[in-house]
Structures are given as C-alpha cells and as structure tokens.
C-alpha cells in the first residue's frame, strides 16, 4: 500500500515504515504529525484518486529529527566587468517516519 500525499507544499510517494526528508515542520523530535492532504491511494492494485483529496484518508507520521541539507553554492559572474558574487545556502529539513496510512 502506498499513497501520494502533500507535505509542506510538496508531493511525496510514501509507504508505511518509510523515512522521508521534508521541509522543516513545527514540533519537537518524537512528536506525532498527521497529514490529511492525501491525493492518491493504492491498496494492492486498487487505486483511489482524490478530487483533489481523498476524504477521510490520513497519514500518521513521527518526527525523527531536524537537520540541515548539504550546502548549495550560488555563484554569479558577469564576464569582462569584474563582477563576482558567491553565496551559500543550507536548507532546513525534518526527517519523518511514516507510521500508518488510514482510509
């Protein structure tokens, strides 16, 4: 059984027991979170598609930890002008574990 769910503005394909990295969520590590925007549900070949969401479907998950992603270097340059600009960014992430998919 798997589901496609919207978490923090992004869509993820999740299964029970899977760990997923998502944008930083509110809550402490160990806290339970519930996602209700389930867009698609596949139960062993029986596909249920929401319009736009499936009513009554929930994804229960637990926040495992908060962390930061690898650094991304942003480099800008204009040739022959002497302009160079370097900047770095690390995205804040949360690692969650999918515990249960209910309909």
Model confidence pLDDT, tens digit, residues 16-44: 999 999 999 999 999 999 999 999 999 99
Q: Is the pLDDT of residue 103 over 90?
A: no
Domain boundaries, position 44: 2-102
Tokens of 52: 């736009």
Mean pLDDT of the chain: 95
Q: How many domains does the chain have?
A: 1
* pTM listed for this prediction: 0.83
- Rounded Cα distance, 45 and 2, in Å: 10
The pLDDT confidence band at residue 80, using thresholds 50, 70 and 90, is: very high
φ/ψ of residue 67, rounded to 5: -155, 180
CA 22, 28, 31: angle at the middle one, nearest 5?
85
Give pLDDT, residue 42: 94
Q: What are 26's strand-pairing partners?
A: none
């Amino acid at each position: 059984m798997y589901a496609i769910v919207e978490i923090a503005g992004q869509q993820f394909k999740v299964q029970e027991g899977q760990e997923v990295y998502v944008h930083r969520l509110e809550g402490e590590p160990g806290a339970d979170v519930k996602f209700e925007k389930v867009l698609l549900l596949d139960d062993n070949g029986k596909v249920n598609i929401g319009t736009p969401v499936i009513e009554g479907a929930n994804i229960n998950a637990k926040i495992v930890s908060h962390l930061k992603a690898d650094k991304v270097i942003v480099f800008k340059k204009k040739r022959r002008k002497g302009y160079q600009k370097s900047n770095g960014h690390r995205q804040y992430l949360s690692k969650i574990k999918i515990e249960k998919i209910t309909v």
